[in-house]
Structure 1
Amino acid sequence: MASDNQYKRSEVAEHSDVDSAWIIIKNKVYDVSKFIPEHPGGEEVVLEFAGKDATEAFNDVGHSTDAQALLTQHYIGDIVESEEDQAKAKPAPQQSATASSGMSWVLPVAIVVLGVALAYRFFSQQS
């Protein structure tokens, strides 16, 4: 899978339509133009990332090992060394502590429980 072809991100960006769709995944460049009609998720998914770095989206989907092996058939080169991992250099938007910990449901549930307890106490004192 070694290649002497080196591409700048700006060169990859020029290939962003259905006729010529290149994507970057882990600093490797893939020409997925011929694969677009075959993509199980539909053409739109591939075209959304055509000409761009699709590493995060590719990893987030959790592609099978078969899908990852299929990707190697479309490999055409690498990102020039000076531009590698530029996407990682940009700071990611920060999430709140509750959203990132998966505990975003705790506060609303606690408020409901507290409300029910107060209502029970209020109505039981009136009887």
Structure 2
Amino acid sequence: MTLIQLSTKEIEEHNDDKSTWIVINNKVYDVTAYLKEHPGGEEVLLEHAGKDGSEAFEEADHSSDARELMTKYQIGELNEAERKPIIKRKTISFDSEESSLKIKIISVAVPISLGILAAILYRKYFHS
């Protein structure tokens, strides 16, 4: 199935609750029927109506279920001349040295903090 190519000018015309189109990573979605169902509220969608909402969509860290649901609302693609670079889904990496150090610190600091708290509570309530 070939998707229709749409210009930003055409998309900009669909910017209210009667017709709500949003561009996410160069794909165009008609989310008008989904406004009332959106878990974040219709205002979030209307804020990006007629515009590119890629950055906001990725920052919201949508689930794979939400991404799958989107396919149902796709009506086309942004025409090739107006396409922007794809915004990648943000992922948490535990491979970097910085992340590894943070995990090590947390894995030591949390038990020590809980131990100190337990000792203070024991002294206060059980050791008169």
Alignment deviations for residues 82-102 of structure 1 (CA, whole Å, 9 cap, x no partner): 0000898xxxxxxxxxxxxxx
Deviation string, structure 1 residues 28-86 (Cα, Å, up to 9, x no partner): 00000000000000011010001000000000000000000010000000011000008
Q: Which residue of 2 aligns with 1:85?
A: 84
Partners of 1:24 and 1:78 in 2: CA distance: 8
- Is the counterpart of residue 59 in structure 1 residue 62 in structure 2? no
Partner of 1:22: helix, strand, or coil? Answer: strand
Contact between 1:3 and 1:78, CA under 8 Å: does it hold in 2? Answer: no
Q: Which runs of 5+ in 1 are unaligned?
A: 89-127
In the alignment, what sits opposite 1:6?
5
Q: Which consecutive aligned stretches of 4+ in structure 1 deviate over 6 angstroms post-superposition?
A: none
> Could you say what the CA RMSD is over the residues aligned between the two structures, in angstroms?
1.7
Which residue in the other structure is 1:23 paired with? Answer: 22
Q: Please state whether the residue corresponding to 1:78 is helix, strand or coil.
A: strand
SS in 1 for 2:55: helix
Q: CA–CA distance in 2 between the matches of 1:13 and 1:63?
A: 24
The Cα shift of 1:4 comes to: 3.2
For the residue of structure 2 that corresponds to 1:73, the secondary structure is helix
Contact 1:21 1:50 in 2 (8 A): yes
Provide the TM-score with structure 1 as the length reference: 0.65
Q: What fraction of aligned residue pairs are identical, expressed as a percent? A: 48
Partners in 2 of 1:4 and 1:69 — Cα distance? 17
Partner of 2:38: 39
SS in 1 for 2:77: strand
